[in-house]
Structure 1
Amino acid sequence: MENNLIHVEVAHALEGRQLIMPVEAQQGITAAEAIEQSGILQEFTDIDLGKSRLGIFGKVSKADAVLQDGDRVEIYRPLIADPKEARKKRAAEGKALKNRARKTPTKA
């Protein structure tokens, strides 16, 4: 490896498909620049970098974050459901099941 080159990966996953693209770039490259250079935007044409959240090894990061050798930039897909609403729904369903269990007579 030349002194001024680093190796990073750019990753994106959908429910049925995952792609990790290797990128060799100059030191000082940002997450957004690595994404552009990787070609992943041509593979996943629905990615909107203006709206997508990014991370480096699972930690949310900004597009202008400068990458280090060996970093993996992750492009996160939008949430399908609001996590707070999903928890409320699960809690309500659990409560309903618990109430039904109490009303069901048991055989002695």
Structure 2
Amino acid sequence: MLAVEVAWSPQAGEVRVVPLRLPAGSTVHEALRQAGVLEASAGLDLTQCRVGVWGHLRELSDGLRDRDRVEVWRALRVDPKEARRQRSRRGRT
């Protein structure tokens, strides 16, 4: 059995982390399905997201190893530099 963690953010300001026990030979796709990321209620469109393991881009068919952390990255809505400029104009830090 593999101990795997799946982390994703269904919406801004919310992070979900689900620890899983999966059989050896499991794939990234299987981990996402077991964690509930693929359900409509999860609020994610995987066609607009990227998936990785420990910060490295992976395919859904890639295998997992014990203690891997599967991460789903949503597309940015605002460029981080532009967001800082906007906060600065409003007087926030």
TM tier, shorter chain? 0.7 to 0.9
Gap regions ≥5 residues in structure 2: 86-93
CA RMSD of aligned residues (A): 2.2
- Higher-Rg member (1/2): 1
**RCO higher in structure (CA 8 A, sep ≥6):** 2
Give the C-alpha shift of residue 15 in structure 1: 2.6
Give the C-alpha shift of residue 44 in structure 1: 5.3
Which of the numbers 2, 7, 10 marks the counterpart of 2:6?
A: 10
Indicate the SS of the match to 2:4: strand
What TM-score, normalized by structure 2, do the two folds share? 0.73
What TM-score, normalized by structure 1, do the two folds share? 0.64
How many percent identity over aligned positions?
35
Which structure shows the bigger proportion of residues in helix conformation?
1
Residues 15-57 of structure 1: CA deviation (Å, up to 9, x unaligned): 3111110110101110011010112344853212233210101
Is 1:38 aligned to residue 35 of structure 2?
yes
Gap regions ≥5 residues in structure 1: 91-108
Task: Count residues with an aligned counterpart.
Answer: 82
